[in-house]
């Protein structure tokens, strides 16, 4: 039986219907401060917390419910004679339901202009204490910490007259998860200035269940870091198409990351989390055409991402291709109508385009733990690079080198990218031998009708030997960009010199695994 409820909520959405539902069931309501005022304005009877404790709110509201008369009423075990005797001796009546939600620390602390004292005042103390107390005593007290549970609780009370053990256990688990996530966000805020704190606490909230994982026999869901932090889908609208899959999301992350490298009109085509085509153009229609012709075979069934609005001309070209996902900041009405004819294609609108922040962390799951590193989000420019050959790249070669360098960091290592006229023409992906990656990139370029002569090569890591560069130079490559740092750098430089080509050391490696 639920005879007496304690309610103390910051978020009052749904509280009117919930309070009325409890009152109709004959439940006595006790509430704190603003919650009590809200319920009174509904015309319902309510007892204020300070009437029970006989102590007014203290310290500007910092102390409201932190009182033995409140916590004893929550924690008392009704099946223990000594607990019942303690309540009776002190004139305390127990609570059967505790409904609490917390100060919005996460959203307040996430504001760019927030002052430290503002964030600190949003750290709830009494709320988590009550939620945890109720969850600990779930056999006798029902903990509720989200408005989404109000309707089902009232419905079960009306149907059964009580709350069953399965619901009680589920709400207790939810309560402890809720307070753990809340504490994790506070700990993360305090340790924000530490890149790698001694204890890393993560809180993830489910965004959506997915049809399956990488393969149909694997179950899957997408979780995002809890709080106001932006995540992969937080500002993305799905305008048409089937539900997004696990592989779609993995590819979408890769496509977005590559696209963020560029401010001019750009297109990235991604499949199996690797770019199979990327290009820049005067507009995104030209960029798409160039990216697609880079490797039209691999682009089949991939993700197409552009960084400008999709116009009808581009939509018609996209409609002629089999693509899983189209990602763009906006679409004209006519373009959207053309694309919606392909019912299976997921059409996504990006409501915010932003570069990755150097302060972001990259997490990789390993057995029993996480590998944590800074995100490889910095964008290098020409000024920080060294030309190590007597021949100096000129335009448009420099532009191709910088373009290829930005693309290769998004290709699985060992990675080689051939670029020409701001377009990828051959990509060697994920080889354990760098010379094999060069060979694959050249072979793919030739197979797809591209002439490597006059193109440039970007390598995500240094060349341990001169064999890879020699293959490329024999094919007509005019310039190379790589990190440098090999014991045989001098041999590699000499091979490039003899071919009268140019080479740039970017002085930074971009492995991706």
* Residues with catalytic function: 136, 272
Q: What is the DSSP letter of 260?
A: T
Longest dimension (CA), the chain: 97
Separation CA 166–CA 172 (nearest Å): 10
H or E element in which residue 459 lies? strand 456-459
Give the DSSP letter of residue 513.
-
- Give the up-direction half-sphere exposure of residue 369: CA atoms within 13 A in the CB hemisphere: 4
Determine contact, residues 417/458, Cβ cutoff 8 Å: yes
- The string of DSSP codes covering 67-120 is SHHHHHHHH--TT-HHHHHHHHHTT-PPPSEEEE----HHHHHT-TT--HHHHH
Q: Does the CA dihedral 342-343-345-349 come out positive or negative?
A: positive
Q: Is the dihedral of CA 63, 187, 173, 139 positive or negative?
A: negative
Phi, psi of 139 (to 5 degrees): -60, -35
**Token pair belonging to 511:** 């492995």
Closest to 22 (Cα-Cα) out of 156, 186, 222, 220: 156
Burial of 358 (0-12, 13-18, 19+ CB in 10 A): exposed
Tokens coding 362: 């990259």
Q: Where are the alpha helices (DSSP H) in 234-384?
A: 246-259, 284-294, 296-299, 312-319, 333-340
Q: H-helix or E-strand containing 492?
A: helix 489-498
257 near 270, Cβ under 8 Å? no
Q: Helix 126-136 to helix 68-75 angle, to the nearest 10 degrees? A: 30
């Amino acid at each position: 039986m639920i005879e007496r409820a304690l309610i103390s909520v910051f978020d009052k959405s749904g509280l009117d219907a919930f309070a009325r539902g409890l009152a109709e069931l004959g439940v006595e309501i006790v509430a704190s401060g603003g919650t009590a005022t809200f319920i009174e304005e509904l015309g319902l009877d309510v007892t204020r917390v300070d009437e029970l404790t006989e102590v007014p709110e203290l310290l500007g509201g910092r102390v409201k419910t932190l009182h033995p008369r409140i916590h004893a009423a929550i924690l008392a075990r009704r099946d223990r004679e000594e607990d019942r005797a303690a309540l009776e001796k002190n004139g305390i009546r127990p609570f059967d339901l505790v409904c609490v939600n917390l100060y919005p620390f996460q959203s307040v602390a996430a504001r760019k202009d927030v002052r430290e004292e503002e964030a600190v005042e949003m750290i709830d103390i009494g709320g988590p204490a009550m939620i945890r107390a109720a969850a600990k005593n779930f056999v006798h007290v029902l903990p509720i910490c989200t408005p989404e549970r109000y309707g089902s609780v009232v419905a079960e009370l009306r149907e059964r007259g009580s709350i069953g053990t399965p619901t009680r256990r589920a709400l207790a688990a939810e309560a402890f998860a809720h307070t753990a996530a809340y504490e994790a966000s506070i700990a993360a805020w305090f340790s924000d200035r530490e890149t790698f704190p001694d204890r890393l606490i993560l809180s993830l909230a489910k965004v959506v269940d997915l049809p399956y994982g990488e393969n149909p026999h694997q179950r899957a869901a997408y979780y995002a870091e809890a709080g106001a932090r932006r995540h992969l889908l937080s500002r993305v609208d799905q305008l048409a198409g089937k539900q997004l899959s696990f592989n779609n999301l993995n590819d979408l992350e890769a496509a977005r990351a590559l696209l963020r490298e560029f401010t001019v009109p750009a297109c990235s085509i991604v499949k199996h989390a690797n770019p199979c085509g990327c290009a820049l153009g005067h507009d995104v229609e030209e960029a798409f055409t160039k990216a697609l012709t880079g490797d039209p075979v691999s682009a089949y069934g991939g993700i197409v991402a552009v960084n400008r609005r999709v116009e009808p001309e581009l939509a018609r070209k996209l409609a002629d291709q089999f693509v899983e996902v189209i990602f763009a900041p906006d679409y004209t009405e006519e373009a959207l109508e053309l694309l919606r004819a392909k019912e299976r294609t997921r059409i996504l609108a990006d409501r915010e385009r932003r570069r990755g922040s150097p302060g972001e962390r990259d997490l990789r799951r390993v057995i029993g733990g996480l590998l944590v590193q800074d995100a490889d989000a910095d964008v290098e420019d020409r000024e920080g690079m060294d030309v190590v050959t007597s021949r100096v790249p000129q335009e448009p070669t420099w532009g191709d080198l910088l373009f290829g360098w930005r693309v290769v960091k998004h290709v699985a290592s060992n990675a080689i990218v051939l670029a020409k006229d701001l377009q990828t023409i051959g990509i060697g992906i994920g080889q354990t031998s760098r010379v094999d990656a060069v060979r694959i990139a050249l072979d793919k370029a030739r197979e797809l009708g591209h002439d490597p002569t006059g193109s440039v090569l970007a390598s995500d890591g240094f060349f341990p030997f001169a064999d890879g560069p020699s293959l490329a130079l024999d094919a007509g490559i005019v310039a190379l960009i790589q990190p440098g740092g090999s014991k045989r750098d001098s041999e590699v430089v000499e091979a490039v010199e003899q071919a009268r080509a140019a080479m740039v050391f970017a002085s930074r490696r971009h492995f991706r695994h």
